[in-house]
Amino acid sequence: NAGVTQTPKFQVLKTGQSMTLQCAQDMNHEYMSWYRQDPGMGLRLIHYSVGAGITDQGEVPNGYNVSRSTTEDFPLRLLSAAPSQTSVYFCASSSPRDGFGELFFGEGSRLTVL
Amino acid sequence: QQPVQSPQAVILREGEDAVINCSSSKALYSVHWYRQKHGEAPVFLMILLKGGEQKGHEKISASFNEKKQQSSLYLTASQLSYSGTYFCGTVGGSSNTGKLIFGQGTTLQVKP
C-alpha cells in the first residue's frame, strides 16, 4: 500500500499563478482533509470531505477550492496564489468505520509563493 | 474552535516524565494525539473517545476528562526519540464528523 500520496513535493509559484496540489489514497478511506502548516505553527484545517461529492470548509478556506469526485482523490486548488499561502500542505485520510478515525498523512507539499 | 495546549515547550533529561495538556471549550467526541519531527509528517500516537474507548501505541498513555473537555498525554521515562512537537486534535459533537481541529502544539526536547 502506498497510503496517502501527495504531489508535487516542492513547488515555487509567482503571485497570481494558479496550481493544484494532488492527493490520492489507496486505503478506501471515506474522509480526507487538507491542512496547512506555517513555520512554528500548528496544523490548520483548510477543507475536508466525508465522501465523494461532499466537501466542507475548515478553519482557513479562503483562497482554496476543493472537489471530491472519487473516493481516492482530493485535489486542492489555489486559484490566484498569494505570498501568504507559502506553507507546507498536508493531506490526510481516515475512516470512521472503527469509530476512531486515525489520520494517515501524506509526506507534505512545500509551496513557496514569490 | 482550536483546542489549547499547555505547556508550549518542555525540556527534559532522558528518563524524566512529562505531561502535555489539551483543553477545549466545546463538547468533544474524540481527542487525537500526534507527534511530528522536524521536516516530517505527523505520526499517530493515541485517540480517546467519549465513553472511554481508546486506541494507541502501547508505550503511550493518555486520559480524557469528558466533563471538563480536557485530555492529557503522559510521557514516562522519556527517551531521546521522544523529541518533537506534540499536537492534540479534537472532533466536536457526538460523532466522528471528520472535522479534526489541531492545537498549536507542544515542543518537547529530550536531552542526554
Q: Name the residue among B22, B39, B40 with its Cα closest to residue B100.
A: B22
Chain B residues 30-59 with a CB less than 8 Å from chain A: 30, 32, 34, 40-44, 47, 49, 53, 55
Shortest alpha-carbon distance between residue B96 and chain A (Å): 6
Produce one character per residue of B52-84: b if its CB has 16 or more CB atoms within 10 Å, e if not. eebbbeeebebebebeebbbbbebeebeeebbb
Cα angle A7-B44-B4, degrees, rounded to a multiple of 5: 100
Q: How many residue pairs bridge chain A and chain B with CB atoms within 8 Å of each other?
A: 75
Across chain A, what does the average pLDDT equal? Answer: 95
Residues of A in Cβ contact (< 8 Å) with B96: 31, 96, 99-101
Produce one character per residue of A52-87: b if its CB has 16 or more CB atoms within 10 Å, e if not. beebeebbbbeebebebeebbebbbebeebeeebbb
pLDDT in tens, A35-69: 999 987 899 999 999 999 999 999 999 999 999 99
Lowest-pLDDT range, A63-77, A82-96, B93-107?
B93-107
| Residue A18: band (very low, low, confident or very high) from pLDDT cuts 50, 70, 90 | very high
Among B41, B91, B98, beta carbon nearest to A90 = B41
Q: Which three cell numbers stand for residue A45?
A: 484545517
pLDDT of residue A2: 83
Please say if the pLDDT value at position B58 is more than 80: no
Are B112 and B80 a contacting pair, CB within 8 Å? yes
Residue of B nearest to A38 (CA): B104
pLDDT of residue A39: 84
Contact B99 A49 (CB under 8 A): no
Among A31, A90, A107, beta carbon nearest to B98 = A31
Check residue B84 and report its DSSP letter. Answer: E
Please say if the pLDDT value at position B53 is more than 90: no
Check residue A73 and report its DSSP letter. Answer: B
Interval A2-31 mean pLDDT: 96
pLDDT of residue B95: 86
pLDDT of residue B34: 97
| Residue B23: band (very low, low, confident or very high) from pLDDT cuts 50, 70, 90 | very high
